[in-house]
Structure 1
Amino acid sequence: MAEGAIQRLYSVPCPGCGAPVEFRSAQSTHAVCAYCQSTVVRQGETLTRIGKMAELFDDFSPLQLMASGLFGQRRFTLVGRLQYQYPEGRWTEWNAALDDGTVAVLSEDNGAYVFSRPADASVAAAALPAAEHFRVGATTAVGGKAYTVTSNQTVSLCSAQGELGHLPALGTPFAMVELRSDDGEVLSIDYGAAVPAASTGRAVSLEELKLSGLRDTSTKQDTGRQFNCPNCGAPVTVQLGSSKSIACPACHSLIDLSQGIGGELAHALQDEPVAPLIALGSLGQLQGVSWQVVGFQHRMGYTPQDPDEHFGWSEYLLYNRQRGFAFLVDSEEGWSLVKPTTGAPKMSPGNTQQATYLGTRYQLKESYYAETAYVAGEFYWQVTRGQKTSNRDFASGRNLLSSEQSANELTWSAGSLIASDAVAAAFKIEGKKDLFQRSDASPVSRSGGVGCITVILVVVVILVLLALMSRCTSCDPRVENCSTSSSSRSSGGSFGGFSSGGGHK
């Protein structure tokens, strides 16, 4: 028998339809018949039918049952799948049977993956408090290790497939809490049973897991789904299976897809459309990865110290089938490319101005409130106009760190500044590169000194600007990146983007 192959296989007829139901893991207690969707529980050598499972939500995942891979030195096989939902979306947990007889969970959420195993003895021995004890954004210790509470959601099981180590009651709400450490560890606490179950994990990539037997997703993902806009009747095509919101290209209405295409589609009208510099659907090569622009949002912010001053910036949602999602941010300070982090940075004791993540110390640049003003394209979270978060931006040289907090979730994003010329070149629009230039493009001459003519030109420009400022005190941040002359704020906005479901990656 080949190394890493299944060492045992237990198969009995389904009590619902008679088709074979197989168990590859000795720790699996439940299964869903692949033929009739009967939910069965194993008691010794006997299977008992306890109900019928809902159909799977097609999430266009590249993963599927019986795909296999390598985690560390252990081979594993995906033998079951649980799909959960919460108010802002869905995520999937794959039951992985390892070749040593133990089990693990591969969590999948919008192109991000976390491989988790049952928590070690120090966490298991800790008296886990009720879910209400965990306040999003707070720091706490579990099993002697410090974590930040990043998500506290009420969730429910919406579907399942294959063999499972546990099976919450279908549609019954329960709490799910996630905590993250500054070294990238994720601690999940599942309150779906009488005794809370804890697991720990870390972020992984599909390439790292060396997976084989993946699903061929190209046909479904490229075909997309189409329906008529509930406001104007124009055709709207959804390209990504995970999308929860999309904007109509004809009337700019923002359409809620969270209930599926077959459900009643809620929509909200959007006025004052903002034209993105990079067209939706554009392909670009950034930092060695091929990205496609699938969404665009313009956001506004204000500081607690000066709520009357508003500033604006833009975020492009990028997608890659293997890497998931990233954000290309266009702010006053320049362009940046960021991704949601798995871990939560550690704040310096007694110093809220500093944060440390993966060994790098960042300095706080700005704290502010952010609001979504305009949306185009499609998004993997249920984005709405007027959506608000509390943000903090940190920096260490060209490296960036940003947090966004809502009522039930805290999301961190990390990345770096990139040159405006590189952005224009990546999307093959060098002819418009002047439109991309921000504060990262210095007007200083290449020579060691500054010529007399240059000084005169600078003086003339300053005089013109002063004349203009005497006639106009502000611009409209709803349609451009700007700030009033009363503020010395240098940061143009969030380095990251709101990441619904980030607590479940």
Structure 2
Amino acid sequence: MASEPTQRSYRAPCPGCGAPVEFRSAQSAFAVCSFCRSTVARSGEALSRIGRMSEVFEDYSPLQLMAAGRREGRAFTLVGRLQYKGETGTWTEWIALFDDGANAVLAEDNGAYVFSLPLDPGRELPPAEHLRVGASTPIAGRSYEVASNLSVSLIAAQGELPKLPPLGAPFRMVELRGEGDVVSIDYGAQPPSVARGRAVALDELQMTGLRDEAAKEEKGRQFACPNCGAPVELTLATTKSVTCRACNSLIDVSQGLGGALRHALQDEPVQPLIPLGSTGQLQGVHWQVVGYQHRMGHEAGDEDESFGWEEYLLYNRKRGFSFLVDAEDGWSLVKPTTGAPRYTAGSNSVSYLGTSYELQYSYEAETGYVAGEFYWPVERGQKSFNSDFAKGASLLSMERTPNEVTWSSGSRIDSDAVAAAFKIEDKKALLKRGDARPTTGKGAGGGMGCMSLILLLMIVLLLLAVVKACVDDRDAGGSGYTSGTSRSSGGSWGGSSGGGSHK
């Protein structure tokens, strides 16, 4: 039962249309009229119209204004929504008002949710350009790693708001990640505002008043493929990239559907072992396969030795996204972390949430083929530097690009569990990998497992047979011989488990 608010709310006519505009929090300085979308500024008990807000885009989120929940025993209500656009697409922050008048933010983070509270940084913050991705900086007496430093802008807002950057004006947003939490620095305010958050599940927040999934508009967001004209429909809440089912073109929709859409043709379509749209239960959670990537990797400086693996993007309405990874050394289920391990660049071990992980592989990765929908603007040819760590069956992976460092954690799973989950027992033999043997701890392409030994033995036997045939042919006076060629199964030989890139 929510307690009675401890402060008086304030309501006054909108200066633009006369409709009632309500302020529930004394900290809220702005509101957006729900009738005419006027941006209203509050000074004492006087309201003034300072412009018109763009209409929020439909994100099909289960969250909505006036949904309520509890965080650590304190009741809150979602009273405002801010939508941002950055270099990696769009995302939403919801303003949560506690019954005692304090504010918080419930935001998206790599396909999941983070609940953040205001934080005193304990020092004067440096300019955003001084916070280099990968560097460490102290905040409130703790050391954090700079995970991203992006130029963003506000594109729409709704409801009651404690802050309101100028519409469309770019500013920097910096993310710092520590062990188990994330700190955001918003340079759209002066001085910059700082908040610290942790990952949450909507069930954990005991949310009520969520949007009924059945009430979601069935028309979706549909548009014509810019390459072939076939209809393409977006079904996920936060899709930034999608492929056309008719011509396999990869389409970037991160900047909206109103303007010209960038697209890239993809030749030689790859058929995933688990079909897109499949549903299944893994580790007690119901998932739907919404995206698929084939990726290639090679050790730094060694372009000749390459290996491949597959990543299936899984979606659950309340849990967000996870990655089902199909690599030579087995299957794994991993999810982007909110925090980051204690890690020194070049080190062979990391510590995360009390567990030490040892380096297994380091390699350069590139996206080769894409199908389905993704919550970040994925592109063919996207490159990153990856490092994979392990502790028994537990996994930890890092991906680094010039603009972002992301970590994912998870565990190995048996191929039979994958087959059973997605009801593809007829493909059990195709799903078998190296999960019947322990991993070697060698770098990608640097170790030789059982499958490699078997392949090598088959090649040796084939060569011996060819040589014998040649000798027999020569002894019989023949003038020629027949040679055979073979190639590997294209996909999962090579042995590293990518953690999935994001945003």
Per the TM superposition, whether the score is higher than 0.5 is yes
Deviates more, 1:221-230 or 1:281-290: 221-230
Matched position secondary structure for 1:306: coil
Counterpart CA distance in 2 for 1:370 and 1:234 is: 32
Partner of 1:25: 25
Partner of 2:343: 347
**1:4/1:427 Cα in 2 relative to 1: closer, same or farther (>3 Å)?**
farther
| Structure 2 counterpart of 1:209, one-letter code | L
Matched position secondary structure for 1:107: strand
2:413 equivalent among 410, 414, 418: 418
2:401 equivalent among 406, 420, 426: 406
| Structure 2 counterpart of 1:28, one-letter code | S
Residue 237 (structure 2) pairs with residue 241 (structure 1)? yes
User: What's the Cα RMSD here?
Assistant: 2.3
Matches within 5 A, 1:33-52: 33-52=33-52
Deviates more, 1:7-16 or 1:150-159: 7-16
Deviations 1:29-86 (A, max 9, x none): 0111110000011011100110000000111111111111111121111111111110
Residue 96 (structure 2) pairs with residue 96 (structure 1)? yes
Matches within 5 A, 1:297-376: 297-347=293-343, 352-376=347-371
Matches within 5 A, 1:369-448: 369-441=364-436
Deviations 1:92-151 (A, max 9, x none): 11111111121111112464111111114xx2x311111111111222222320111111
Partner of 1:180: 177
Pairwise CA distance, 1:352: 0.7
Contact 2:111/2:375 (<8 A) preserved: no
Counterpart CA distance in 2 for 1:201 and 1:4 is: 26
Contact 1:6/1:99 (<8 A) preserved: yes
Counterpart CA distance in 1 for 2:457 and 2:383 is: 39
Matched position secondary structure for 1:352: coil
Consecutive unaligned residues in structure 1, runs of 5 or more: 444-457, 484-490, 501-505
Counterpart CA distance in 1 for 2:195 and 2:454 is: 64
Partner of 2:496: 492
Counterpart CA distance in 2 for 1:497 and 1:62 is: 24
Partner of 2:468: none
2:160 equivalent among 163, 179, 184: 163
Residue 141 (structure 2) pairs with residue 139 (structure 1)? no
Contact 1:92/1:109 (<8 A) preserved: no
Consecutive unaligned residues in structure 2, runs of 5 or more: 439-451, 465-482
Partner of 2:112: 112
Partner of 1:80: 80
1:481 equivalent among 464, 486, 492: 492
Matched pairs, number = 472
Pairwise CA distance, 1:473: 9.9
Contact 1:301/1:493 (<8 A) preserved: no
Contact 2:110/2:336 (<8 A) preserved: no
Pairwise CA distance, 1:309: 1.2
Matched position secondary structure for 1:95: strand
**1:77/1:219 Cα in 2 relative to 1: closer, same or farther (>3 Å)?**
closer
| Structure 2 counterpart of 1:232, one-letter code | C
Counterpart CA distance in 1 for 2:220 and 2:151 is: 30
Deviations 1:197-234 (A, max 9, x none): 11111111101111111112334366533333221222
Matched position secondary structure for 1:317: strand
Counterpart CA distance in 2 for 1:337 and 1:462 is: 30
Higher Cα Rg, which structure: 2
Matched position secondary structure for 2:203: helix
Partner of 1:454: none
Pairwise CA distance, 1:91: 1.2
Counterpart CA distance in 1 for 2:309 and 2:388 is: 14
**1:390/1:461 Cα in 2 relative to 1: closer, same or farther (>3 Å)?**
closer
| Structure 2 counterpart of 1:129, one-letter code | P
Deviates more, 1:300-309 or 1:350-359: 350-359
Counterpart CA distance in 2 for 1:221 and 1:402 is: 37
**1:89/1:459 Cα in 2 relative to 1: closer, same or farther (>3 Å)?**
closer
Contact 2:83/2:93 (<8 A) preserved: yes
TM-score (norm 2): 0.89
Partner of 2:204: 208
**1:2/1:411 Cα in 2 relative to 1: closer, same or farther (>3 Å)?**
closer
Partner of 2:149: 152
Counterpart CA distance in 2 for 1:55 and 1:88 is: 21
Counterpart CA distance in 2 for 1:362 and 1:63 is: 36
Counterpart CA distance in 2 for 1:341 and 1:258 is: 22
Matched position secondary structure for 1:347: coil
| Structure 1 counterpart of 2:227, one-letter code | N
Counterpart CA distance in 2 for 1:65 and 1:162 is: 8
Contact 2:6/2:101 (<8 A) preserved: no
Counterpart CA distance in 2 for 1:64 and 1:110 is: 20
| Structure 1 counterpart of 2:299, one-letter code | T
Counterpart CA distance in 2 for 1:254 and 1:388 is: 16
Counterpart CA distance in 1 for 2:200 and 2:221 is: 30
Contact 2:296/2:309 (<8 A) preserved: yes
Deviations 1:443-473 (A, max 9, x none): 9xxxxxxxxxxxxxx9998643424589899
| Structure 1 counterpart of 2:417, one-letter code | A
Contact 2:384/2:400 (<8 A) preserved: yes
Matched position secondary structure for 2:166: coil
**1:438/1:221 Cα in 2 relative to 1: closer, same or farther (>3 Å)?**
farther
Matched position secondary structure for 2:42: strand
Counterpart CA distance in 1 for 2:77 and 2:453 is: 69
Contact 1:223/1:239 (<8 A) preserved: no
Matches within 5 A, 1:57-76: 57-76=57-76
**1:113/1:460 Cα in 2 relative to 1: closer, same or farther (>3 Å)?**
closer
Of all paired residues, the percent bearing the same amino acid is 62
Matched position secondary structure for 1:435: helix
Deviations 1:164-189 (A, max 9, x none): 1111000000001111111x121111
Counterpart CA distance in 2 for 1:229 and 1:397 is: 45
Deviates more, 1:196-205 or 1:14-23: 196-205
Matched position secondary structure for 2:303: strand
**1:388/1:472 Cα in 2 relative to 1: closer, same or farther (>3 Å)?**
farther
